[in-house]
Amino acid sequence: MARSVGGQTWQFDRVFLAGEAAAVGPKEGEGPLRDDFDGIFPTPYAGQPNWEKAEQTFLQYAFDKALEKSGKRKEDVGLFVAGDLMNQITTSTFVARSLATPYLGVFSACATIGEALAVAALAVDSEAETLVAAGTASHNATAERQYRYPTEYGAQKTDTAPCTVSGGGVALLARDSAGGPGRVRLTFATLGKVIDLGAKDPMDMAAAMGPAAADTLAAHFSDLNRQPSDYDLIVTGDLGFHGMPVLREWFSRYGYDLGDRYADCGALIYSPTQPEVFNGGSGSACCAVVTFGHLVRRLRRGELRRVLVAATGALHSTVSAQQGETIPTICHAVVLERED
């Protein structure tokens, strides 16, 4: 049964990934993780008349594929926990509309999948539900239009600017999983605090999010009396190429060294040689598709046994940025472990 450990961490006894899936757009399908995605759409429109519907298609595809891989029926899903970057989290809400399943909409910007997994795991381990779906999606064009650099603006981006991932990821969490090798459990979730150290540049969100990631990771290790060496891999959500050194510097202030066990989803999903990826991947789908497409596959194959996934998010808005506000940030972390 779920219980609190330390100041910020929840421990779960029996929460398994019954099925998971990741769907992406064409740029992500050209990256180094192309073979790990369940679906790659050849155009940004994904067969839809507009980008917003394409984003919904990514999430719907991931849900359907995860359900298929789990061997469950849609009627078996007792709760859908999801969120995205659109105003009023419309992508998740419109997909939930088609599922006819109880729905909790959540938002932590690009850290949304961390929050969704924590809530879903709590529902499962408390025995309130037997099967819960957690998911998120984003789209490069919908994010650009809403609050990044609109295409019409035509300005050159900086090297620290993010490239929003087009894709969707869903995991089905269950109290029990089929027997045999390759079972993956969600064992802990460390909930982040809102951290704001005064950063204001929306084109360098990695610098703003690095301290939040360091704070949550430090809380996780303190709560569980663990060290980075207790994990095969520690992965942040979307700090990117420029943000990874920022985290290392901040984390060293807590007395920890990540060593060679550290990676970032935003740096993994694209090759630095791909055109216009800038700092690497970002967006709420970034952490989800890399985790459910790449990391969980490595866990199931036995290449990894224990992974700490720390999803990072910047909680500002277009209005707050225009009013000169600083950028509040957050990081939610979950532990995924292989069980033979």
276 pLDDT exceeds 90? no
CA distance 284 to 76: 26
315 pLDDT exceeds 80? yes
The mean-pLDDT minimum among 11-20, 131-140, 269-278 falls in 269-278
Q: What is the pLDDT of residue 293?
A: 98
149 pLDDT exceeds 60? no
DSSP class per residue in 256-312: ---GGGEEEHHHHHS-TTSTT-TT-EESHHHHHHHIIIIIHHHHHHTS-SEEEEEEE
Q: What is the pLDDT of residue 204?
A: 77
Q: What is the pLDDT of residue 162?
A: 79
54 pLDDT exceeds 80? yes
Nearest 5°: the CA angle 296, 298, 299 is 60
Q: What is the pLDDT of residue 182?
A: 85
Q: In the structure, what pLDDT confidence band is assigned to residue 147 with cuts at 50, 70 and 90?
A: low
Q: By the 8 A CB rule, do 111 and 237 touch?
A: yes
Tell the CATH superfamily of the 3-174 domain: Stage V sporulation protein AD (3.40.47.40)
17 pLDDT exceeds 90? yes
**Six token digits for residue 59:** 């999430």
Q: What is the pLDDT of residue 181?
A: 66
- Mean residue pLDDT of the chain comes to 93
The mean-pLDDT minimum among 11-25, 153-167, 301-315, 322-336 falls in 153-167
124 pLDDT exceeds 70? yes
Q: Which residues contact 189 (CB under 8 A, 6 or more apart)?
A: 9, 10, 12, 114, 117, 118, 121, 122, 332, 333, 334, 335
pLDDT, tens digit, 9 for 90 and up, residues 163-203: 899 999 999 999 987 655 689 999 999 999 999 998 887 77
Whole-model pTM? 0.96
Per domain, the residue ranges of the chain are 3-174, 183-339
Q: What is the pLDDT of residue 151?
A: 55
Q: What is the pLDDT of residue 273?
A: 87
DSSP class per residue in 157-186: PPTT--EE--EEEEEEEES---SSTTEEEE
Q: Give the residue-averaged pLDDT of 291-299.
A: 98
Is CATH 3.40.47.40 the right assignment for the domain spanning 183-339? yes
- pLDDT above 70 covers what percent of the chain? 95
Paired residues of 197 in beta bridges:
none
Q: What is the pLDDT of residue 312?
A: 98
159 pLDDT exceeds 90? no
Looking at per-residue pLDDT, the higher value among 207 and 310 belongs to 310
Q: By the 8 A CB rule, do 6 and 219 touch?
A: yes
153 pLDDT exceeds 60? no
pLDDT, tens digit, 9 for 90 and up, residues 226-269: 999 999 999 999 999 889 999 999 999 999 999 999 999 999 99
Q: Which residues of 88-97 are buried (b: 16+ CB within 10 A; e: fewer)?
A: ebbbbbbbbe
